[in-house]
Amino acid sequence: MNFLDFNINSMLKEELQSLENQNKLPHAIIINGGNEEERLNTAILLSMWATCRESGEIPCGKCKSCINARAKNHEDVYFAKSFGKTEIYNAEEMKQIAKDTILKANSARNKVYIFLNADKSMPPISQNMFLKTLEEPPENVLFILTTQNSKALLSTILSRATVFNIPIKDSFQAENIELAKNIVQGIINPMEIDLLYATGKLTKKQTALEVLPVVSRLLRDGIACSIGSECTLDEDTGKILAKRLTKSRLIRLIELNEKAIVKINQNVNLNLLATWLCGEYRRISW
């Protein structure tokens, strides 16, 4: 994914990158947390990603589709309208949107519907109407919801959506760095038990979503060391990785993490995921 000049949190970038691994468009994406501007920017970037007309790294930022989506003036990107004093997406609006999703996109590959502040503006009745659309989602339609607290939405909606969390701080927590380093150590250690032990700590969704991007960052440091460029997180680990693993293996490990993040966002059983991840790390690195 091309992030252009958008100011997107680096941990969120790692997560969003996982979208490229999915062969088809997700039906619904929830952008949760952060501040209003961050959520809006991420929604706009995703609308460009879903409608860009170029191939290769998208969004290109230059085609007509990208320019219009960025200006919030794209015929296939619709911002749901809120009504009344309480600014809610009312039943009538939800009905109109459901009808509109059946129609083909005007010019873009996909149609995008954006519901800003869905946790505050989408009352249960509207959420239930939205759920019906999500249960039988039309092809090539992407719904983007932004929330301050995604848990305020119905769990039935959450389970059908991919949730991306904007971390509070754009820095990795010390304990996550340590756990990530243990995983990397486990990957390069001949004994499998260390890796099993380290991945076995990823049994909480939040932990797994926070730690895997750090693992990827360390692996990137390995690539950086092997091509003589600068490490961004930990040079020592980078050097060890560069010595021990080829660049292509490091890339495959990063891709594996991205796949794992997709699975976590799809609410996979985390015990199974930890075991699978351990096996795949070994397979790629040995």
Interacting residues toward Zn ion by CB under 5 A: 52, 54, 59-60, 63, 66
In whole angstroms, the minimum distance from the beta carbon of 52 to Zn ion comes to 3
The residue among 108 and 262 lying less far from Zn ion, judged by its C-beta, is 108
Cα separation, 42 vs 39, in Å, equals 5
The residue among 25 and 131 lying less far from Zn ion, judged by its C-beta, is 25
In whole angstroms, the minimum distance from the beta carbon of 188 to Zn ion comes to 40
> Hey, CA dihedral for 181, 184, 188, 192, is it positive or negative?
positive
Tokens for 265, please give them. 């966002």
Alpha carbon of residue 188 to chain centroid: 27
Neighbours of 243 (CB within 10 A): 11
In whole angstroms, the minimum distance from the beta carbon of 13 to Zn ion comes to 18
Cα separation, 253 vs 133, in Å, equals 36
In whole angstroms, the minimum distance from the beta carbon of 75 to Zn ion comes to 15
| φ and ψ at residue 246, rounded to 5 degrees | -75, 165
The residue among 142 and 219 lying less far from Zn ion, judged by its C-beta, is 142
Cα separation, 14 vs 122, in Å, equals 29
The residue among 111 and 181 lying less far from Zn ion, judged by its C-beta, is 111
The residue among 65 and 127 lying less far from Zn ion, judged by its C-beta, is 65
Rg (CA), the chain: 20
Cβ atoms of 45 and 4 closer than 8 Å: yes
In whole angstroms, the minimum distance from the beta carbon of 53 to Zn ion comes to 6
The residue among 2 and 148 lying less far from Zn ion, judged by its C-beta, is 2
Cα separation, 118 vs 121, in Å, equals 5
In whole angstroms, the minimum distance from the beta carbon of 25 to Zn ion comes to 16
278: burial class by Cβ within 10 Å (0-12, 13-18, 19+)? buried
In whole angstroms, the minimum distance from the beta carbon of 164 to Zn ion comes to 21
Alpha carbon of residue 36 to chain centroid: 18
Cα separation, 249 vs 253, in Å, equals 6
The residue among 66 and 260 lying less far from Zn ion, judged by its C-beta, is 66
